[in-house]
Each structure stands twice: as C-alpha cells, then as structure tokens.
Structure 1
C-alpha cells in the first residue's frame, strides 16, 4: 500500500468523482469558492490509500494563521471517505494514520466532523491526541414523497407555500439556462438587501461556476414582475444543501421564502438526491459546534428552517489543538 496524492491526475479524478457522489458543499467546484470566502493561502495535502478491498480518502488542507498550522478542508471540516472492510481496510487505515502523524506537530489546530455512531480511525486518533469533540446538530430532510414532506412541515409553512404558488413567479436557473446577467443580478440584489457588500466579487463568480458545472442551481422569485428573492442550492449525488437565500426585507409581511425553498427541495428530488441539508441548527443559550453561544439572529434563522421539517441529526466535531 502506498500514499496517493493529488499530483496524480488519475487519483485526482478518483477523488473528484467521490466528492460529486458525496454531494452538497463537498463537490470539487466549492474549492474555489471556499478559497475566496476564507481568504487563506491553502496548501492541499489531500491523500488516499487505495487497495483492493480497502480505501481511505483524506481531504485536508493546511493554512497558517497567527503562526499556527490549521488543518481543515479549505476552511470546512476535514473529510474522510472510507470504503472497504476487514483486514485490508484496517491496513489502509493504519497507513493513512501513520501519514497523518508525519504531518502534524504539537499545537497544530484540526477541524474534523463525522456522524455519531462507531467512530472512524480518524476520530479515535484525535481523541488519543487530546482533541475534545462537540455535538454538531444538523437539520436534514429525507427526500420522500411530496405529501410526506409537506405533512412534516409546520401548518403555516404549507399555507405559505400555497401563497407562493399563487403569487410568485419562480424560475430554476441551472447550467442549461443561467447567464452572467442572472448572477450579476443575484450579487447586486444581495448587496442591496444587506445594505453593503459582505464578500468579494470573486466568490460570486465561483458560485456562478458551480451552477455552470451542475453542482449548484439558483431559483429566482418575482412578485408583480419585481425581483423579490434569490435562493442558491448545492446538489449532486445523494445530497443537496440550502446554501444562500436573499429576500426583499421591505416585503417581509409576505412569505417570500417558503415556496422557493420548497421548489429547491423538489428540484433536488428530481436530480436524484436523497437528503436535503439545512446546516447546523442553533438553539438559544446552547453552545454550538465551535464552542460559542449563537446569536439571536442565528437562532431565529434555525427556528425558521426547522419549520420545513426533517430531523435533527447528531454529528461530532473535533476542533482544537493536537497534542503529539
């Protein structure tokens, strides 16, 4: 068994295929977006151990902040994809673990996340290196029949969706029909609603590329021929994610967001996705996965999202200093 890196085009293609299968915010096109969003000089140290009957892919980057090495995946938690079983898988994991030991130094900071249940070799390694995990509660909607998903929502949300069907003109913009002008309108609309520019123009270009590669789609909403909402979704493989929603704050007496989000869920279903993720769910006075108390705004947004139903699934997030 040997370590494969992204310097090999064959391995790189293999990794990108796995990421597209994984879906959501993990797809290859998100790399350029995260680079622009976080603004760090990332070194991609991703590697894999591939063997008949055993496979470990480790997606991680390193950047330096205040003189300290931070390990993540372009600012998001490190991703581990394991496929295999038995002795051969254990051997692949041991090779991967030894390679990680060669990268890390005492005091480095790691960010890693995985579902609860039996821990991966990576999680057990971090426990042995003194990194304490926190709970990451994520809202996930299992994509089933329309009636079942609607029945799982708050009653008022079903009513608001019906209002949107009657009053909003929504269009799905994807790789087949998106234009640069559509995304320029999205960017300018966000600046207008927020009252300021919150991130760089390059991140908007990166998101447009995600639509052009089929990793994202955008839903525009019009009321009386006026643009009142833009909603961006990430979707491929089995997973979709609600990325960004911008709605006219002067018209918040109308339920502008419910129907576009519902249309986004239905489009994810048409693409073959099995789950629709709403992100971390925040609760007043409860520490989040970063170890901080969330703001009132974050809690209010999470309460709104929970109205779409689904379940709160527990993940564990390791974020802290490594002790070698």
Structure 2
C-alpha cells in the first residue's frame, strides 16, 4: 500500500557478480522514482587474478546484513514502510546470485514482505531510462557478463545483436589480468586510465563484427600475444615500439568501434535517434564519446549514467522490481530460484505500453 506520502517503496538486492548492492527506492503518485539509499560493497581480487564464484559468494554472505542495515539507515525509513523485497534472479554467476537470493528470501520471511525476482539486464535498462529521461532509445548494454544491443517493441526488450562468445567487459577484465593491472576499483576503469596515456601507436587487432553480433575472444587472444611480445622487447608488426598504454588504447578503440557499428545499424533499423548506454562498461568516457559522435551525425543523442547507476547496484533491482510489483507481479517463495541464463527478451514488460 502507498505510504502517507502516496509512495510505494521497494528494497532491491543485487549480487550477480563481484558487487553486492542493496538500495531502496520510492515511486511517488506520479510514477517518478526517488532514490532513498544506494549502498554497495565490492569484492576485489589481487592483481592478475579474477574473482571466483565461491570467493564472491562468500563475500556477499559475509556483508549482506551490514549492507542491508546501512541501506535502511541511509533511507531513513522503517521496515514497515517497504512494499516488497526485490532480488536479482539472473543472469549472473551462480554462487553469488544464490547467496543474495537467500538473503532476500530471509528478509521477505522475516519482515512479511512479498518477493519480486528481477532480470538483471532489465534492471539496468529501467534504471538508465529513469535517470536519463531517454524516451524510447536503442540500448547498448555492456558489462562484465553481457553485451547486447536492445530495442523495445510490444512489451519486450528485443535483442538485435549480442556477443557470440565473451562479453566486452570480460574481455577488458581478462586483459587487465594479462597486464597484471590492479582490480581496485575495477580492472576496466584502470584500463581506461592507461588508455588515456596511449594513442601514440594504434596496433592491428582483429575486427570481428558478424552481422549484428560481435566476437571478442580472438581480439583478446591477439592482444595477449602482443603483450607477451612487448615483455620480451619485441616490436609491433611495423617495427614500432609500444607500451601497455598503447595496448589498452588499441583494445578500447577496436572493440568500441565494433559496438558503435552494430548500435548504429540497430538505430537505422528501428528509426531511433537515441542511444542509452547501460552496464558497467557504460561508464567508459571513450565509449560515450565515440557513441556520442555517431549519434550526433544522425541528428540524435546519447544517454548514459555515472558509476552510481552504471555499475551493478541494488537501486536498479528495486526500481525494476517495483515497476513489476505495481502491475501485480510477485515471485512465490518456492519459485524464487536463480538462473545464470535469464535472457533480456524473456521478460514481459507489462509496465510499458
């Protein structure tokens, strides 16, 4: 039921990868979203390593209670004000997803609140739309585990193109391991900073666009080969010296050009001049710049959010979950399972006409 101010309020729990996020959001009588709290705690692995599911799941279990308490304190509300508890059903890593789902089920039972399972990708899209005000954009969803070009049609988010192997964020993260770059605050962020120091040399990497889809594994393999060559004092194919910064610059330029190409093709297909970039890689300033130039040439514009909402967070799960809850959707306790493969276009988007 709406509170005394006519608001509905949801708590959202996100933990599909290495970030545990719990946030609280309110929808007022007009449907506008208001962020009440947005707390996040990240599992950071040592340089040269990735985060394993079991270690990440342990991190989420260890920090869930304190993050939830902090979210409630920051929001300044009582448990009784909550309408529902939302959680990420997938896609994501099995262990971390399950750990957070167990936490959400516990809160639901403890507080007597209905559960709402949320698709992680739809959470990103709806949060991006709410923050930027983008009306009906083509969405580029780029993160550690997902790479998709999406457009809305007939109450579904339709996937126009996607990765055929690894996600763009995973490509960047794995190359950060190759260079033994710090994972704090994020490997992709540190690659971006190194890339800003490069640009003197643009090396040749594969360009793998296949229709509306992309492939990144071959690009990563070639970048790893060049990194090994650099360590032994070797030179580039044209006899040039190059640095880790040049490698990061080259990798970004190549894979972002691929993303711009398939996004532009989707815009032409659906007749849209808006692009919304969501997901952790969407924070990258170079990607935003390249996409913005393409959109401007088409008489359009690009929309993106900062790290508060681009990077995985509980608020996006609370927002998408509350949108679904307001249309009558709930997840029964016995059906509150998680799945690593929960596709964006499987969700019935009842809250959009």
Give yes or no for TM over 0.5.
no
Q: Which one has the bigger strand percentage?
A: 1
TM-score by length of 2: 0.26
TM-score by length of 1: 0.27
